Structure 1
Amino acid sequence: MNDRTELFTIGQLSRRTGLPVRTIRFWSDEEIILPARRSAGGYRLYDVAAVARLDLIRTLRELGLNLETVRRVLDRQDTVADVARAHAEALDAEIRVLQLRRAVLRSVARRASTTEEMRLMHKLAQLSAQERQHIIDDFVDHTFAGLDPDAPGAHIARKMRLMPAELPQDPTADQVDAWVELAELVADEAFRQRVRQMAVAGAEPVDQPRPYDHEAVLEHGGDAVAAGITPDSAEGQAALGRIIDARTPVDERVRLAGELETFTDRRVERYWQLMGVVNGLPPFSPGAAAFEWLIAALRAHR
């Protein structure tokens, strides 16, 4: 008898391949490998092709493929290349989940989070990219529903929708924290109503140019906040004069203060800061405090 005609019992296959007897018997019961014939005593006998088949099965199983996928490969319903490609994609997804778990654990360790916080962070961090974007899309749809997409303030909706809420492949603890805070923020009904108010106001046509320069507010208003200058002080009013024309009438100042108040909200500013962290963008200097100071200074004119 030569190698091509030699037959092996399960025990002999085990010794030849190094696979446990119970594993070979299980694969045979599942008809992943089939005996060439049975002995007079009813024992299953396998030919040399079964040895090669077992080597391939072991390799595919070590790569993590389930038995049904292995069966399709062996039956040539799928090519090894197709299976390898699909499995590589599955491994990428698994690695991503592990990276997210690691980031969550780092964040929990840093924050000394409670069990409930850890559960929430873990749940949110494992959302797919599509599910994360759906949270933002739902927020934008609710906020800007019924507004003219060509209205002056519509660019805010477009910007909110286009800014992806996608965590990177290996997020930092800061990015996980930012995503959790962001998800909680857009789910807050008071925040949604506040942004809706801003959106409706922003959709109104602008009758006149604004009587101030944005950068001037950040510079002089920001300096006043940093220096602790109160808006109603003489020094504060002098700073105000560097932002708007000192001859601006009181009623115009009051009107401008109301308009600015509509579009000034630290939580909205926080939204953009969190989006920046999630997307790995350079941080920007917050400006809401400077505009709040300006609003108070406009109303404090004597």
Structure 2
Amino acid sequence: MGIDQVTVRRVVDREAALPEAAWAHAEALAMQIRTLWLGRAVLTAVAERDPDPRELDLMHRLARLTERQRRRLVEEFLDAVFGAAADPCLAAAGRTMTPELPDDPRTEQLRAWAELAQLTQDPEFRDVLRRLAEAEAGEGRGVGGPGRGLWGVLHDQVGPAVAAGTGPESAEAARVLASVTAHYARLLGRSDDDAVRARLLDRLRLAADPRRELYLGLLAVINDRPRPESRAPLLDRTARALLADAR
């Protein structure tokens, strides 16, 4: 069964119990299997993506990480994004962004982890998430679903407009936009003015970064959760309405 000779001798000499030796060997095999599965996932990603030399080097290093090293890689990424997370909203957001690879992961979970781990090493992506986290903390936003913060008002007001096919330059779009900007100004504790609208536009552009949605999709696969609703249509429509209003 592959148990080393030293351990076999200890069992024969009754210096170790056979069940204990078998259990320890089974655990070691389980670790090897997880490592092999992760290596397979990385190789599959290489075959499908044809990465450049820098990406290939990163994926090679990811495949060789231990479980503790993989966890530390994610923790370091989240620390860089959310900092010490003294703000309870940021601390909660950090927890929801944490991948938890199961002990017996499926192939698609391993492939998703390999891609997510690579994404966490992108310094531009880290900066986007950090700026988003700081913006949300500054808005006094709670963490949750529709009905809270900026995402709540976009879901409740821009969502129906998108579903109805409302054009970004229409009178109805202007009405919805006025409600959204007034709500955002209240989140900031300010009056609705051009500066607030410019800040809102920057906020929408950060949130619309495709890497953010990619991360959340990969996170859902790893943690075996439903894929989150895409915010892209609401973010895009609101940004276009803001630009139309500015003209």
**TM-score, structure 2 normalization:** 0.72
Instruction: Give the aligned partner of residue 74 of structure 1.
Output: 12
Task: Call closer, same or farther: CA 1:240–1:276 in 2, change over 3 Å.
Answer: farther
1:169 to 104, 107, 119: 104
Instruction: Tell me how far 1:130 sits from its aligned partner.
Output: 2.4
Instruction: Tell me how far 1:179 sits from its aligned partner.
Output: 2.1
Instruction: Give the aligned partner of residue 192 of structure 1.
Output: 126
Instruction: Give the aligned partner of residue 148 of structure 1.
Output: 86
Instruction: Give the aligned partner of residue 153 of structure 2.
Output: 212
Partner Cα separation in structure 2 for residue 198 and residue 64 of structure 1: 51
Task: Call closer, same or farther: CA 1:259–1:80 in 2, change over 3 Å.
Answer: same
Instruction: Tell me how far 1:75 sits from its aligned partner.
Output: 2.2
Partner Cα separation in structure 1 for residue 26 and residue 232 of structure 2: 47
Alpha-carbon deviations, 1:208-259, whole Å to 9, x = none? x7593424334434665xxxx763x33xx534535654996xx836424523
Instruction: Give the aligned partner of residue 45 of structure 1.
Output: none
Amino acid at match of 1:132: R
Instruction: Tell me how far 1:131 sits from its aligned partner.
Output: 2.0
Instruction: Tell me how far 1:114 sits from its aligned partner.
Output: 5.8
Indicate if the aligned counterparts of 2:82 and 2:133 stay in contact, CA closer than 8 A: yes
Which runs of structure 1 show a deviation greater than 6 angstroms over 4 or more consecutive aligned residues?
none
Instruction: Give the aligned partner of residue 49 of structure 1.
Output: none
Task: Call closer, same or farther: CA 1:129–1:218 in 2, change over 3 Å.
Answer: farther
Alpha-carbon deviations, 1:137-161, whole Å to 9, x = none? 10111222255333x444222322x
Instruction: Give the aligned partner of residue 295 of structure 1.
Output: 239
Amino acid at match of 2:106: P
Alpha-carbon deviations, 1:165-208, whole Å to 9, x = none? 41662432x4344323322222111222222222222222539x
Amino acid at match of 2:92: H
Indicate if the aligned counterparts of 2:174 and 2:241 stay in contact, CA closer than 8 A: yes
Instruction: Give the aligned partner of residue 265 of structure 1.
Output: 208
Residue 138 (structure 1) aligned with residue 72 (structure 2): no
Amino acid at match of 2:81: T
Indicate if the aligned counterparts of 1:182 and 1:275 stay in contact, CA closer than 8 A: yes
Q: Please, what is the CA RMSD of the aligned residues?
A: 3.7
Gapped regions of structure 2 (runs ≥ 5): 142-148, 183-190
Instruction: Give the aligned partner of residue 159 of structure 1.
Output: 96
Partner Cα separation in structure 2 for residue 246 and residue 80 of structure 1: 68
Instruction: Give the aligned partner of residue 180 of structure 1.
Output: 114
Partner Cα separation in structure 2 for residue 101 and residue 196 of structure 1: 30
Instruction: Give the aligned partner of residue 21 of structure 2.
Output: 83
Partner Cα separation in structure 2 for residue 149 and residue 93 of structure 1: 37
* Equivalent residues in 2 for 1:100-139, closer than 5 Å: 100-109=38-47, 111=48, 113=50, 120-121=58-59, 123-139=61-77
Alpha-carbon deviations, 1:11-38, whole Å to 9, x = none? xxxxxxxxxxxxxxxxxxxxxxxxxxxx
Task: Call closer, same or farther: CA 1:100–1:147 in 2, change over 3 Å.
Answer: closer
Indicate if the aligned counterparts of 2:177 and 2:241 stay in contact, CA closer than 8 A: no
Amino acid at match of 1:171: R
Instruction: Tell me how far 1:104 sits from its aligned partner.
Output: 4.1
Task: Call closer, same or farther: CA 1:125–1:136 in 2, change over 3 Å.
Answer: same
Instruction: Give the aligned partner of residue 43 of structure 1.
Output: none
Partner Cα separation in structure 1 for residue 121 and residue 45 of structure 2: 21
Matched residues, percent identical?
32
Instruction: Give the aligned partner of residue 278 of structure 1.
Output: 222
Bigger radius of gyration: 1
Greater relative CO (CA pairs within 8 A, separation 6+): 2
